[in-house]
């Protein structure tokens, strides 16, 4: 390809060329996708129906579930459609859309996880000021700011990534459009192409991660000063699900990105892409459901109410 104007579509390699395996891939991804929709919708429904859960922590949890639904919806439906139709094609505009939406949901998620760390910091380190600081208006502003910042970041990220012309092969060794692999297809040196967009991502993730770490250092100091063992366990139990979700999101994303750029010609990018594009949206609501007593109690009440209604 001689210039960018000739690139009208990309080829996503996917997992297999064998028709039976493509059907299996469709069924597996459909099951995974429906599971993600169900478990995240479950969190949204339980929190919405139980007024005892109308607190800042669960307000942010609902936003996280909405983000996870969007996050997993960026790549999975297109990959399923390609497997069902026995094709690999994705249009240039479709690829741009995938990159933009993926960056929006990923950036909004790390920003929201940072806000949730701040919520836990205020709840444990400054409990007397919690209701004043984390009021409804403040929570709405924080959530909205996360979305706005993510959209601005995604616009800059996407614009910078597609600013260089594509004049080499249009084959992407992934089941969705991924920036590091796209940059390797540009006319310019892939080492320098898209440096601005990648730098933005690094700054965003590192800044949020540092803020989360500092918040939990302060939380740990406060918890260690709690005299009773039961009080310490109760305080830590409210932080454990969030810490687990943050670790899962940051570790899978970082590890996958490093492996993708170092082994672009192998099958490893496909596995790593699946790891960070599919696993967190499914595991996040499960982690919160298993580790949160309030959600378990709300679920029991919901089940009892439904059984009572049927009887």
Model pLDDT for residues 7-57, shown as the tens digit of each residue = 678 888 777 777 788 889 889 999 999 999 999 998 898 888 888 888 898
> Quick one: which of 150, 148, 178 has its CA closest to 253?
178
pLDDT band (50, 70, 90) for residue 288: confident
pLDDT band (50, 70, 90) for residue 3: very low
Residue 266 has pLDDT above 60, yes or no: no
Residue 283 has pLDDT above 80, yes or no: yes
What pTM did the predictor assign? 0.86
Higher pLDDT, 98 or 237: 98
Over residues 192-209, mean pLDDT: 76
> Quick one: which of 155, 130, 178 has its CA closest to 276?
178
Residue 280 to residue 301: CA distance in whole angstroms = 27
**CATH number at 4-310:** 1.20.1070.10
Place of tokens 């919405």: 48
pLDDT score at 5: 46
Report DSSP state, residue 186: B
Exposure of 18 in the CB half-sphere (CA atoms within 13 A): 4
Average pLDDT over all residues of the chain: 82
In contact, 160 and 194? CB cutoff 8 Å: yes
pLDDT in tens, 129-155: 898 999 999 999 999 999 999 999 999
Residue 50 to residue 227: CA distance in whole angstroms = 32
> For the chain, how big is the Rg over CA atoms in Å?
21
pLDDT band (50, 70, 90) for residue 303: low
The residues spanned by each domain of the chain are 4-310
User: Which are the contacts of 187, defined by CB distance < 8 A and separation ≥ 6?
Assistant: 3, 164, 165, 166, 167, 168
């Amino acid at each position: 390809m001689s210039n960018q104007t000739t690139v009208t579509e990309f080829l996503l390699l996917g997992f297999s060329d064998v028709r039976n395996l493509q059907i299996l891939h469709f069924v597996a991804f459909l099951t995974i996708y429906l599971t993600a929709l169900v478990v995240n919708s479950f969190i949204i429904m339980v929190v919405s129906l139980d007024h005892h859960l109308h607190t800042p922590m669960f307000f942010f949890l609902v936003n996280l579930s909405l983000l996870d639904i969007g996050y997993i919806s960026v790549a999975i439906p297109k990959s399923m459609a390609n497997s069902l139709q026995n094709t690999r094609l994705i249009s240039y505009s479709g690829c741009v859309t995938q990159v933009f939406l993926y960056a929006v949901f990923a950036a909004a998620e790390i920003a929201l996880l940072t806000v949730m760390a701040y919520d836990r910091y205020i709840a444990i380190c400054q409990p007397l000021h919690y209701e004043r600081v984390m009021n409804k208006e403040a929570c709405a502003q924080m959530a909205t700011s996360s979305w706005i910042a993510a959209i601005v970041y995604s616009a800059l990220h996407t614009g910078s990534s597609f600013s260089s012309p594509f004049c080499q092969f249009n084959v992407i060794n992934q089941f969705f459009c991924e920036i590091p692999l796209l940059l390797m297809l540009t006319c310019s040196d892939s080492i320098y192409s898209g440096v601005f967009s990648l730098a933005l991502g690094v700054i965003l993730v590192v800044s949020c991660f540092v803020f989360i770490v500092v918040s939990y250092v302060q939380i740990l100091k406060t918890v260690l000063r709690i005299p009773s063992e039961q009080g310490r366990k109760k305080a830590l139990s409210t932080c454990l699900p969030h810490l687990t979700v943050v670790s899962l999101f940051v570790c899978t994303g970082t590890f996958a990105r490093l492996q993708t750029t170092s082994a672009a010609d192998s099958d490893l990018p496909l596995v790593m892409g699946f790891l960070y594009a599919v696993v967190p949206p499914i595991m996040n609501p499960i982690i919160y459901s298993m580790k949160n007593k309030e959600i378990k109690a709300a679920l029991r009440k919901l089940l009892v109410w439904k059984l009572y209604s049927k009887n």
